[in-house]
Chain A
Amino acid sequence: MMVKVFSFDLRIEDPAPRAVRARGAVYSPSGGRLVRVEGLQRQFSPEEDALDFDEDFGATIGLTLADVVHSAAWSEALPLTVAVHECAGPCLKLYEIVEGGVKRRLLMVIGGEDGRRYVLSVQGGASPSRGDLQKLAEVVGVDRREVEKLLASGLESP
């Protein structure tokens, strides 16, 4: 399964000002632990990647291709990179997003047996419920504490 992760620093002035920075990584289970998967980095291609971009950010932080197009640098290359990962089974995407000085983490679990996509958004220092973390851990096939650990250490996690 191909999993894309987007990294960007977007500054939008129109129709409303926004400055959003996002970094992400993919983790997959290995020996009961969540291990970072290395991806292949390339430039964002609107025709290939836009729908995946909207899927990750449209409902979670209200950012879509149309907003990206409004960012100042569209005329040149978009200020966006994509890392493409290959995952054999369920995996977890972690995004760290900073906007207006507020940090938010997005945990997305994909590739589970039910084919659904689970998204958990954690703003600032808030602690997500154990039940939610448990659900993500179950789908990805690790112990809940692994997800908690990942959330605590963020993208520093190996």
Chain B
Amino acid sequence: MVDAPAQSTLLLERVDYSALRNLTAEEIAGEVRKYAKLLMPRAGIDYRIHLGPAPPLREGEELVTRTLSLCPHCYSLLPATVFRREGKVYMRKVCPEHGEFEELYFGDYSTYERYKKWQRDGKGIWTPNVGLTALCPYNCGLCPRHKSHTALLNVAVTNRCELRCWYCFFYAVKAGYVYEPSLEHIRFMLREAKRMLPRGAIAVQFTGGEPLLRDDIVEIVRVAREEGYEHVQVNTEGIRLAFDPELAVKLRQAGTNTVYMSFDGVTPHTNPKNHWEVPYALENLRKAGLGVVLVPTVIRGYNLHEVGAIIRFGVKHSDIVRGVNMQPVSIVGRVPRKERERLRVTIPDILAEVERQTGGQIRREDWYPVPTVVPISRFVEALTGRPQFELTTHFACGAATYVFWDSADELIPITRFVDVEGVMGLLDRAAEEIRSGRNKYVVLLSVLAKLRKYVDASQAPKKFRKKRKFLRMIFNILLKHDYSALGEFHYNALFLGMMHFMDTYNYDVSRVQRCDVHYAMPDGRVVPFCTFNVMPELYRDRAQKFFSYTIEEWERLTGKRLSEEVYVRNIRKLMSGEPYRRAYEGIADVFSIPYEEHVMASKRFGIPVVE
């Protein structure tokens, strides 16, 4: 690490980014790394440490554990008590300055206990990007104590957006600057995350703002491929994809594997962001052969009642929809307790709703926490002798399952014909046998022979039953020693996932230390998602502002006008198209909703309408 810049630089709010924009990745590395120290959170200014005893339990409460959390008002580090009350898990903490905060942590204690059994920790970071200088989470990152390698790297390529969602304070016009790292700067960030040990990043998601607003987004995807990224995702609200069929083709040709598209519900009321455009985006992605994962943010009292319909929508479009990845709401800013209770939803709450809304076809027990698949990685690692990509997040961060079907009316979760616990136990034992010196080929053969025992083909969807296709896929994963075989798996099933990004109210330092969804920072740091976005002033905004253009500079350089980049929706036109009708047919009766209500939904959300 280069020494910290001279004291006077501390007063700088930003560098002159136009001076950096034409540098090569190597030159950028020489220039920007020195700022990492400068941009770190400052003790006593950005946060305080209050490590007294954790709050005591009250009547009717039972201790689950204790952890460290944050004060939602001042980001101070606080001890927190995690406890059980009436079958749910809560967190309580007390800031000496801002008082007590109590929050729902996990909506069902028995699911908490079931998930905990699957926790597996990673091997840590052998090549940290920063030294150990502060307590967690003020030392990102990745610092030497972080427990999981990067599974998915996020790179924000712009803070511009053509939407003006009412709750967002992040986009360029409101922020007052334009963050838009140059292509070579992005290359530098990709390299920083790729070179890490024991495993460098191999999957990247380009995000924003709206990444598709960048004219060179296709080039950015190409750079990620050049830098050896095996999986490239682009996160979008889908507006551009709806109107530009060529863009989907170009993204695919450049090496994009998946588009991550926001999709909060099946009606204009629940999804005012892109309800009318999604059908056209899907159509264009379909033509381009570019798969998409739908990403609903789930909020109680808002769209929780539609999680089943969202899954059905995914199944209906499964020729192009690869998965649905739900995100229980993360409550941003200072929100009073009553209001939080109205909005808050956690993973078990959504699982229960999915079960109810799919008529019991997808049950709570069909979902497993993210680290469940670690035994696969550990087994492959024992076979190959090389550290493998492994998903060692905290068990409370996410859950997933796969569903299959013969007809869209009958969803069959993977757990109905695969004994997940049996398979993972088998792999755990096999890895242990190899580690203790048994011949690995003998162990492998025995695993392959025993695997049949855990797969009940008679319960599988017909297409698997006939050809034993699924068993073959599992064989392939084990034999090929990598996950490319999963590609085939994806095309025959719908992935259902969930990730509960944290907020300051339910923040758990134990979770963030295990985080494997990371952001590349413009100064070369790599920062967990749940510090980057939860304490934006300390990480995201500080770094982005530092490496940004003023709006005037950006407009001069590009000849564009930021204020003109506003999407105006033509609802009448969008509703009259055939793709719109087809997309929702059989899922939601969108035509029974009066046109005026469509318009109101859009406007209330902040998106103007051509009338």
A residues whose Cβ falls under 8 Å from a Cβ of B: 13-16, 46-47, 50-51, 54-55, 58-59, 62, 64-67, 69-70, 74-75
Number of A-B contacts (CB under 8 A): 75
For the complex, give the distance between the alpha carbons of A66 and B67 in Å. 6
> Is the CB–CB distance between A65 and B135 below 8 Å?
yes
> Is the CB–CB distance between A69 and B79 below 8 Å?
yes
> Is the CB–CB distance between A66 and B51 below 8 Å?
no
For the complex, give the distance between the alpha carbons of A55 and B66 in Å. 22
Chain B positions 203 through 245: 1 when the CB is less than 8 Å from some CB of chain A, otherwise 0:
0000000000000000000000000000000000000000000
> Is the CB–CB distance between A46 and B51 below 8 Å?
yes
For the complex, give the distance between the alpha carbons of A13 and B113 in Å. 11
CB neighbours (8 Å) of A13 from chain B are 65
For the complex, give the distance between the alpha carbons of A13 and B116 in Å. 9
CB neighbours (8 Å) of A54 from chain B are 132, 135-136, 145
For the complex, give the distance between the alpha carbons of A69 and B145 in Å. 15
Chain B residue nearest to A51 in the complex (CB): B135
Other A-B contacts than A15-B395, A69-B66, A75-B53, 15 sampled, CB-CB below 8 A, are: A15-B119, A15-B514, A46-B49, A50-B51, A58-B143, A59-B124, A62-B121, A62-B124, A64-B145, A66-B67, A66-B509, A70-B510, A74-B54, A75-B56, A75-B66
> Is the CB–CB distance between A69 and B67 below 8 Å?
yes
Q: Report if B593 contacts A (CB, 8 A).
A: no
CB neighbours (8 Å) of B49 from chain A are 46-47
Chain A residue nearest to B112 in the complex (CB): A14
CB neighbours (8 Å) of B66 from chain A are 69-70, 74-75
Chain B residue nearest to A77 in the complex (CB): B53
Chain A residue nearest to B143 in the complex (CB): A58
Chain B positions 75 through 87: 1 when the CB is less than 8 Å from some CB of chain A, otherwise 0:
0000100100000
Q: Dominant SS at the A interface?
A: helix
Interface residues of B in 387-431 (CB under 8 A from A): 394-396
> Is the CB–CB distance between B147 and A62 below 8 Å?
yes
Q: Report if B606 contacts A (CB, 8 A).
A: no
Q: Report if B144 contacts A (CB, 8 A).
A: yes
Q: Report if B134 contacts A (CB, 8 A).
A: yes
Q: How far is the CB of B537 from chain A (nearest CB, A)?
A: 22
Residues A75 and B54 in contact in the complex (CB < 8 Å), given A47-B49, A64-B145: yes
Q: Report if B68 contacts A (CB, 8 A).
A: yes
Q: Dominant SS at the B interface?
A: loop
How many chain B residues touch A (CB < 8 A): the figure is: 34
CB neighbours (8 Å) of A51 from chain B are 132, 134-135
> Is the CB–CB distance between A15 and B116 below 8 Å?
yes
> Is the CB–CB distance between B64 and A14 below 8 Å?
yes
> Is the CB–CB distance between B67 and A70 below 8 Å?
yes
> Is the CB–CB distance between B510 and A15 below 8 Å?
yes
Chain A residue nearest to B113 in the complex (CB): A14
For the complex, give the distance between the alpha carbons of A115 and B49 in Å. 27
CB neighbours (8 Å) of A74 from chain B are 53-54, 66, 79
CB neighbours (8 Å) of B506 from chain A are none
Task: Give the contacting residue for B136; candidates A16, A64, A70; CB below 8 A.
Answer: A64
> Is the CB–CB distance between A50 and B54 below 8 Å?
no
> Is the CB–CB distance between B68 and A65 below 8 Å?
yes
Interface residues of B in 472-517 (CB under 8 A from A): 509-510, 513-514
CB neighbours (8 Å) of A14 from chain B are 64-65, 82, 116
Q: How far is the CB of B470 from chain A (nearest CB, A)?
A: 30
Q: Report if B128 contacts A (CB, 8 A).
A: yes
List 19 A–B pairs whose Cβ atoms lie within 8 Å, in order of A's numbering: A15-B119, A15-B394, A15-B395, A15-B510, A46-B49, A51-B135, A54-B132, A58-B132, A58-B143, A59-B124, A65-B136, A66-B67, A66-B510, A66-B513, A69-B54, A69-B68, A70-B67, A74-B66, A75-B54
Q: Report if B540 contacts A (CB, 8 A).
A: no
Q: Report if B120 contacts A (CB, 8 A).
A: yes
CB neighbours (8 Å) of A62 from chain B are 121, 124, 145, 147
Chain B residue nearest to A65 in the complex (CB): B135
Q: Give me the 5 closest cross-chain CB pairs, A-B, nearest first.
A: A58-B145, A46-B51, A59-B144, A14-B65, A16-B119
Chain A residue nearest to B394 in the complex (CB): A15
CB neighbours (8 Å) of A16 from chain B are 116, 119-121
For the complex, give the distance between the alpha carbons of A33 and B282 in Å. 73
